[in-house]
Amino acid sequence: MSKNIVVAGGGAFGTALAIVMSADEIANVTLLMRDETNAAQMQSLRINQSRLPDVKVPDALSITSDLSCVETADILLSVVPTGAQLSFADQIKPHLDAKTPFVICSKGFDKKSGGLMSNSVRNLLTQHDVAVLSGPGFASDIAKGLPTAMTLAAHDLASAQELSNALSRQTFRLYGSDDLTGVQTGGALKNVLAIASGVVMGAGLGESARASVIARGLAELSRYILFMGGRAETASGLSGLGDLVLTATSAQSRNYRFGIELGKGALPEDLVGPDKPLVEGANAAIAASELSKRENITLPITNSVADIIQGRLDVAQAIQQLLARPLRHEQE
């Protein structure tokens, strides 16, 4: 029997997931968009003009703004921004069958608590399995059918594997994990480190400096995953190192581009806002930095990014502060 898959979120990544889910026509796929006008336009033109204008939407993909479509969903992929995950979960709660897994597909911490988004969603959707999709995958690559591998984490490995099998396609491969904590932490913190890498390049410090940021950033990511209760090996997997390398080196990454502009001297407040690209790493930096200071976790790169974003340091001061840190054993 074909699965009914609902992808909620009409941005680039949500559109890409909906396209790849419907490409092999082995599932009934619906893209749920917030705006009725945009949904009707996309249904008619078969392209997402504002987000993925160069990729045709398959005829098999249904597009709607009607929330009732989630009532028949076997799997719900929630690709709304991190800051909107809880309000969306609350909105669809009356419509969602208790057996339907809720798969979080955005990367970031709960802004209010600083904790894992899966915990916050589970507190709201108490009867539902909550899973997380994360890893190195740009929307345009996924939508065009280019080979992509990501991680699907759930509360146990059997559930993760079942969802991975249901959602994997010929060019879109999902690897199961039961480390919900590690996968989410890696996915959120790598955005912060991508900003740092962009700052280095925007400031003209060179490729060698960026490589150092990536390597030392991976050490921070590993340290934070362990503190949050995840497993060390997750840091070296797709949702850790894989995603970090992708987003810290490619101009397709919004977080990396944001960092480049900061490195060139742009003010943080001029780069964020309703009409600007969403930069999940900005909020993640602040959340992780505040927690690290309370709990005495060593996250110098993350703290520097948070200080720049909050206007406590300019880029030159942050770089000088990092360069002035005492030399230690590499594994510390």
Catalytic residues, by residue number, are 190
Report in angstroms the alpha-carbon separations of 317 from 199, 207, 258, 305, 314. 12, 20, 18, 11, 5
The closest of 42, 239, 53, 45 to 139, measured between CA atoms, is: 53
The tokens describing 6, both together, are 């609902």
The distance from CA 105 to its chain's CA centroid, rounded to whole angstroms, is 6
Start-to-end CA span in the chain (Å): 52
On whether the CB atoms of residues 132 and 184 are closer than 8 A, the answer is yes
The tokens 């879109």 sit on which residue? 172
CA–CA distance, 7 with 33 (Å, rounded to integer): 9
* Residues ≥6 apart with Cβ < 8 Å to 202: 259, 260, 261, 262, 263, 264, 315
